[in-house]
A and B are shown apart, each in its own frame.
Chain A
């Protein structure tokens, strides 16, 4: 089954496809698994390269990743990152009367087989019950476009459970008193807490909070053919050298069915439609050598991540009042998480290069809707620094130390081994005018218009920041920090630094106020679906990937069995 053809994984002999998926990341992999295990023939187009040797090889030793504990390769030089020098994005602040204020990197996610889920640190909380009907809870908020989801938590629950089971999420049911109901325990117990986690947990408990072992899709025991995580420390921003993360677990299941052909180094450039203008017939793409190619199929799933999926629609003439966009909403309601990050400096050495980036946190600050006393914030992660080059560059490039003073910082490591971070994933209120469109002039190296991000912060996020920021500082004090402060809002003054990207193809039951329907199918097209973070009407205050995967599985399930999508999750694998 294992392919020997360059730039292709899976069954190379397939040439007719029931479904074509653009993007092999978190959402695309989840959808592919449901489709392929139910016998549908799937072609996946992936813009990036493959670093999982033998991903389609059934041998139990496989895959053997080419990742490593190598900061230069993964983090500084960006092996799997979208390289902004050839694929820039542009940014302008909401309200700025200019075409753009920045050309370069704007909230990029990796381009590689497995997508952003490869270098993620795999935090996997579920959203809360009330996240699915926030508009009803909050009412109208000026300048924001909160909306209820066209489904509720209970409908998504079986898909959450399946995602956890198939990827191997570790966690402890009941440990988070604010979490919504679960149909069963986590498939794996929590792994060992990092030293920084133990200290911050103590601080959190001392000020009356409810910390817990953060759920995450990394094996804490050998599971489904993958080894247990040995806590090598270089986790966030790194592909896993031993494949203990669940990054490509579902993608591999899909490939092993024999029903999938994954073409990588293949970047989709346009969706082609028939004369009815209600059906997509093919996707045009650039192959590994940059030559144009096409693949046709019966149905099409966009899973290129919220910004790139919306860009592909716009490149295809969907949007701008055109095809597939009677609502005029393609690209709008773009959301990130508004991270409030409180930095604590401790005399303790946290040796962050041991552990798995984040092992603990709490969700007390997610709050409850309409509590006049407390705004809606987000789940909080306990983190520290594990990267040495990046730490040194902070002293050298950003802070400008030289000579003996620099040596003192390099040895004392105040912003490295002695730094603990509390990261609140604050809800980002949706706004119509926070959006991606095509930059009117800037092109990528292939000559295609790049995505332009227009974004402004809403008072909703700032209220949570103001309220919880000082509490995060106090937590550091209770945990033994010598210094603590809240880091400034934006790295580089552009968008929030979060790589949680949502919105742009909002789902809803009314075609006038949404782009996609309750099963993430485009209202205006008969065979085009969204299977990444794009359909989410609201961002919630939890890491989004498990939820976008559950949605993608449900969409794929509905393609297989529209009446009972939850009955086909397991398929035949």
Chain B
């Protein structure tokens, strides 16, 4: 479904990603963790072409993301992405947030889009808030809207960039619950997160990054029981203490 081979990227002389390779099969859930600044956000932004790469190849659903001939908009329409800061459109109602890309990008009718939008709002438990504006919702609610907005496009896979790290602790679980549900339904997911409880529950594999390298790419059990690298061990012991 998603394959990265020897992906490298630099900003000027600063190397953000070095030789990153991995493979994600349909229905797999991959958790990516690592210290801040290690390139996690950059890596998943490369998957839908929000960031360009200088070397290597990224293939999503058989389409080469870094091929200049690829219609990136078309590909992104079916790769859902959820951001740390929600990035809902503040000048639109919640429902319009869910409909705008359905109508303007996928060409669905307004009714069809609203129908789908309301179903997904219901799914994330927010159908009563359809007419509100994002600013009137709590962080956890906004992030659930953002997930619903991505799902409304019928994505073939979902990318999450620290979806809970901007949230107050008491709101983390409402978002994680939605994500667990998605994972259990078989959605292909790449999730940057430090929520190890989530990883233990639904991840197939865990990737550990440091300084732009993929240091560890292991099954969940291997990662938690016997991380090979010292840096992953240190990292794990640090975050599991908290």
Answer yes or no: are A and B bound together in one complex.
no
Interface residues of B (CB under 8 A from A): none
| Interface positions of A (Cβ within 8 A of B) | none
